[in-house]
Amino acid sequence: MKNGSATAGLAIGAAVFVGAMAAQAQPKIIGPSVYDWSAGRDQKTDVGAFRQVMKGPTATLDELEVHVTRLDPGKLSHPPHRHPNEELVIIRQGTVETLSGGVWKRLGPGSVIFNASNSLHGLKNVGSVPAIYDVINWKAPPKTGRP
């Protein structure tokens, strides 16, 4: 019986340890927040610059990610691609072409792009000045019973 108690104690201890590690590995839920632009930093990229504003889970989303991109003239942000998450792109400055619904469309400041789940999309700067745009990207838990 002693050996069985020791084994049970080890199993319980291991379960508590694994549970504690899993709790630590889970990112903190984003609650009410403000992000001061002057406190952020741009990261240079091969095609311009990128500034991460926020990224993490919320009370209703698996992940909410917001960043700002500066895309140099003549550059493509990345090759056309698709992903399951949805995103909004809001053009602040410059002239871009976006691949949406299989067609390249030209847009300027104030324009909004919605990249639907798994839709092929891409963005390129076709203007003579850097294009600056905000990206709001979210991942929601899977919906059941919905096409």
Instruction: Tell me the pLDDT of the chain (147 aa) as tens digits.
Output: 555 555 555 545 555 554 555 555 778 999 999 999 999 999 999 999 999 999 999 999 999 999 999 999 999 999 999 999 999 999 999 999 999 999 999 999 999 999 999 999 999 999 999 999 999 999 998 877 656
Evaluate whether residue 63 is within a structural domain. yes
Domain assignment present for 111: yes
What is the span of the domain harbouring residue 93?
Answer: 37-139
Q: Is residue 61 included in any domain, yes or no?
A: yes
Q: What's the total number of domains in the chain?
A: 1
Cβ–Cβ under 8 Å, residues 74 and 125: yes
